[in-house]
A and B are shown apart, each in its own frame.
Chain A
Amino acid sequence: MLSKKTKVKYTEKKKKSKYPKVGFVVFDKWCKRCGICSELCIHNVFRIDEDGYPRPVKPVECNLCGFCITRCPDFALRMIEGKSGEHSA
């Protein structure tokens, strides 16, 4: 699939969540920084970094609604499931 370089991986380990833990992969090479994912997430899982890319800073708040992934127009966002902190893309 994608080369390792295009992947930027984020996870959060500290907080407890009632939902299964998830992490997100943002493919920066495909992301056009439209802001749809971060603006539409009602749980504010994403923060926009200084370059305009979304960074999932609070994945522990994610309720798995899938809204961000299905509305990303560029297939640049992926949710990965896994044990706490053990995410692999």
Chain B
Amino acid sequence: MQKDIDVYQYLRHEKKFPLIWCAGCGNGIVLGSMLRAVDSLKISKDRVAMVSGIGCSGRTSTYVDFNTLHTTHGRALSFATGLKFARPELTTLVVMGDGDGLSIGGNHFIHAARRNIDLTAFIYNNNIYGMTGGQVSPTTPGGKIASTAPMGNIENNFDTIKVAEACGATFVARGTTYDADALDEIIAIGIQHKGFSVIEVLTPCPTIYGRYNRLGSAVDMLKSQLDDTIPLEQAKNMSAEELQGKTLTGIFVNEDKREFCEEYEKLVQRAQKK
């Protein structure tokens, strides 16, 4: 994929820049990957919609020159479902945080996946509620420190990939901000997939999660993704011990199943014939 594309044509840089995110926050890297993926697919920006929830991650829609909806906390998928139903021709990207998408919005996530509606859903996983100061999220690993877990998190955390797969999502992938090149490719494949695509991106929150857990600078957190993750293909040749504590990345699910909007269109045609 071409790296130095003119990303600025997709950004509201005249009005909305600089980005609100903290120095070294991974969210901007995810955004860059999305723009390169859209550019590589040669989709006109007027045919792209971005729907986001509330959180640091939710700010993404503010910066892009697509059709955008910045909605309410946890309800990005509800708005996106309505939009996609009314305008199925739009390539619709849904941006959520791990709290946004999996705790308050968990129910919507489950059912959007079950229906297999043609949306590309992004979970920006920074392991914490960033915007509200660092409460435990469903992806905060056990033992990690958060404002609501000053002595370490006693809960078990979700594996977004397993949740998405179990609920019926037909494209499920995980990428990292460190490997933005792989992320570009994953996003491009996810957008082209017909059905509900879930792309979890591991993205550092140096200001809140990083500080609570003493994970070093933004650069340290970004570099540590390289050590903490293993691409699926590589993992195939590794033992269980070698994979201990590592997070797998790549495309986990990519299958065809009937899609909600298409089935609805068929239903309308059947009803009209009667």
Q: Name A residues whose Cβ lies closer than 8 Å to a Cβ of B.
A: 1-2, 29-30, 32-36, 39-40, 66, 69-76, 78-79
Is the Cβ of B4 less than 8 Å from the Cβ of A79?
yes
Residues of B within 8 A of A34 (CB): 23-24, 218-219
| Among candidates B19, B21, B180, residue contacting A70 with C-beta atoms closer than 8 Å | B180
Give the docked Cα–Cα distance between A2 and B7 (Å).
13
Which residues of B, 7-32, contact A by the 8 Å Cβ criterion? 7-8, 11, 13, 17-19, 21-29, 32
| Among candidates A29, A40, A76, A78, residue contacting B219 with C-beta atoms closer than 8 Å | A40
Q: Name B residues whose Cβ lies closer than 8 Å to a Cβ of A.
A: 3-4, 7-8, 11, 13, 17-19, 21-29, 32-33, 36, 177-178, 180-181, 184, 217-219, 222-223
> Which residue in chain A gives the minimum CB-CB distance to B2?
A66
- The verdict on A32 contacting B24 (CB below 8 Å), with A66-B3, A74-B18 known, is yes
What are some 23 contacts across the A-B interface (CB < 8 A)? A1-B8, A2-B13, A29-B17, A29-B18, A30-B18, A35-B24, A35-B218, A66-B3, A69-B4, A70-B32, A70-B33, A71-B29, A71-B178, A72-B29, A73-B19, A73-B25, A73-B29, A73-B32, A74-B19, A74-B28, A75-B8, A78-B4, A79-B4
Give the docked Cα–Cα distance between A76 and B8 (Å).
11
- The verdict on A73 contacting B217 (CB below 8 Å), with A36-B222, A40-B222, A66-B3 known, is no
Is the Cβ of A75 less than 8 Å from the Cβ of B24?
no
Is the Cβ of A71 less than 8 Å from the Cβ of B222?
yes
> Which residue in chain B gives the minimum CB-CB distance to A35?
B219
> Which residue in chain B gives the minimum CB-CB distance to A39?
B219
> Which residue in chain B gives the minimum CB-CB distance to A2?
B13
Give the A-B pair count, Cβ closer than 8 A: 75
Give the docked Cα–Cα distance between A76 and B3 (Å).
14
Residues of B within 8 A of A2 (CB): 8, 13
> Which residue in chain A gives the minimum CB-CB distance to B18?
A30
| Among candidates B3, B17, B27, B36, residue contacting A73 with C-beta atoms closer than 8 Å | B27
Is the Cβ of B17 less than 8 Å from the Cβ of A33?
no
Known: A32-B24, A73-B27. 19 other contacts (CB 8 A): A1-B8, A32-B18, A32-B22, A35-B217, A35-B219, A36-B24, A36-B222, A39-B219, A39-B223, A40-B219, A70-B33, A70-B180, A71-B222, A72-B28, A72-B29, A73-B19, A73-B24, A75-B13, A75-B19
> Which residue in chain B gives the minimum CB-CB distance to A33?
B23
